[in-house]
């Protein structure tokens, strides 16, 4: 699945809806046993949640958007397929979550590319299921420090921390992703799928059990004037950076 929503593959409501429909089709196709996620936009895997979906909109819109974000994560983290992220560009916040939610992450070894859960830098707080996914990948200490500081890690640092599993030159990315996929698909599906489910069930169940509470928490938090102001300032900063 190739993300192609220029300029930065931000995760808008439309993007997320299309992602979920595409994933469901693949999940229901008995001939499809694995998916490689990558980007068709140069230098960007995904810039994370579309900030304009969280700024200046109604409470109803925030709730609809957040349910879609939850749905995307539930489907991808709970997928029976082998999922490989071929990270060919920067991947902050929600973009990093997509990579973390996969079974394996390969990143292009470009010193300009960054990845991480930088929510704290925007004055917002990554929800518990982002945190759980991060902890399950890199361990508690690395996740705690990285989340509190809202760190965006270079590709080599992300590799050292275990946030990505492998680094490759850009020209080798697709070949490497296909080789990893072949290795994972060589196992009997039922054994791999049951093991995956056993490893992820507690974290998935936790969101399912608290889904509406999590929506309300997001809506209350994001609609606070102080948070809206932080997000507006952040968008302004992104636009000024270009001038």
Ligand X SMILES: CCCCCC/C=C\CC(=O)SCCNC(=O)CCNC(=O)[C@H](O)C(C)(C)COP(=O)(O)OP(=O)(O)OC[C@H]1O[C@@H](n2cnc3c(N)ncnc32)[C@H](O)[C@@H]1OP(=O)(O)O
CB 134 within 8 A of CB 146: yes
Place of tokens 């399950």: 136
Q: Could you say which residues in the range 209-228 bind ligand X, by CB under 6 A?
A: 217-218, 221-222
Does residue 90 bind ligand X (CB under 6 A)? Answer: yes
In eight-state DSSP terms, residue 11 is B
Among 35, 72, 87, 93, contact with ligand X (rule: CB under 6 A) = 93
213 is annotated as an active-site residue: no
Among 18-26, 41-49, 157-165, 187-195, the segment contacting ligand X (CB under 6 A):
41-49
Q: Does 44 bind ligand X (CB under 6 A)?
A: yes
- The stretch among 28-36, 117-125, 156-164, 171-179 that binds ligand X (CB under 6 A) is 117-125
Residue 94 is a catalytic residue: yes
| Residue 48 found at the interface with ligand X (CB under 6 A) | yes
In whole angstroms, the minimum distance from the beta carbon of 183 to ligand X comes to 31
| C-alpha to C-alpha distance for 79 and 77, rounded to whole angstroms | 6
Active site (annotated) includes residue 88: no
Task: Report the residue number, 41 or 81, with the smaller CB distance to ligand X.
Answer: 41
Q: What is d(CA 66, CA 124) in angstroms, rounded to the nearest whole number?
A: 14
> Interaction with ligand X in 121-140: which residues (CB under 6 A)?
122, 124-127
- Cα separation of 201 and 205, whole Å? 6
Do the Cβ atoms of 70 and 16 come closer than 8 Å? Answer: no
Helix, strand, coil % over all residues of the chain, rounded to 5: 60, 15, 25
Is 5 a residue that touches ligand X (CB under 6 A)? no
HEC string for 14-80:
HHHHHHHHHHHHHHHCCCCCEEEEEECCCEECCCCECHHHHCCCCHHHHHHHHHHHHHHHHHHHCCC
Question: Minimum distance between the CB of residue 45 and ligand X, rounded to whole angstroms?
Answer: 9
Catalytic residues: 49, 94, 118-119
Residues of the shown chain interacting with ligand X in the complex, contacts defined by CB under 6 A: 7-8, 10, 44, 47-52, 90, 92-94, 118-119, 122, 124-127, 217-218, 221-222, 235, 238-239, 242
């Amino acid at each position: 699945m190739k993300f192609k929503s220029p300029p930065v593959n931000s995760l808008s409501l439309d993007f997320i809806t299309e992602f979920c429909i595409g994933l469901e089709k693949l999940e229901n196709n008995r001939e499809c046993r694995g998916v490689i996620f990558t980007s068709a936009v140069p230098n960007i895997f995904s810039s994370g949640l579309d900030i304009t979906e969280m700024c200046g909109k109604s409470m109803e819109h925030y709730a609809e958007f957040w349910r879609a974000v939850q749905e995307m994560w539930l489907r991808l983290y709970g997928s029976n397929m082998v999922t490989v992220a071929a990270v060919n560009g920067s991947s902050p916040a929600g973009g990093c979550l997509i990579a973390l939610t996969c079974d394996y992450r390969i990143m292009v070894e470009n010193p300009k590319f960054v990845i991480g859960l930088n929510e704290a830098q925007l004055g917002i707080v990554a929800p518990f299921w982002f945190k759980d996914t991060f902890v399950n990948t890199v361990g508690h200490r690395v996740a705690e420090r990285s989340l509190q500081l809202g760190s965006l890690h270079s590709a080599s640092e992300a590799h050292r921390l275990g946030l990505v599993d492998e680094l490759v030159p850009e020209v080798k990315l697709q070949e490497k992703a296909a080789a990893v996929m072949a290795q994972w698909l060589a196992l009997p599906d039922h054994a791999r799928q049951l093991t995956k489910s056993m490893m992820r069930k507690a974290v998935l169940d936790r969101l399912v059990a608290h889904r509406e509470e999590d929506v309300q928490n997001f809506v209350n938090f994001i609609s606070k004037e102080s948070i809206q102001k932080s997000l507006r300032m952040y968008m302004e900063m992104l636009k000024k950076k270009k001038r």
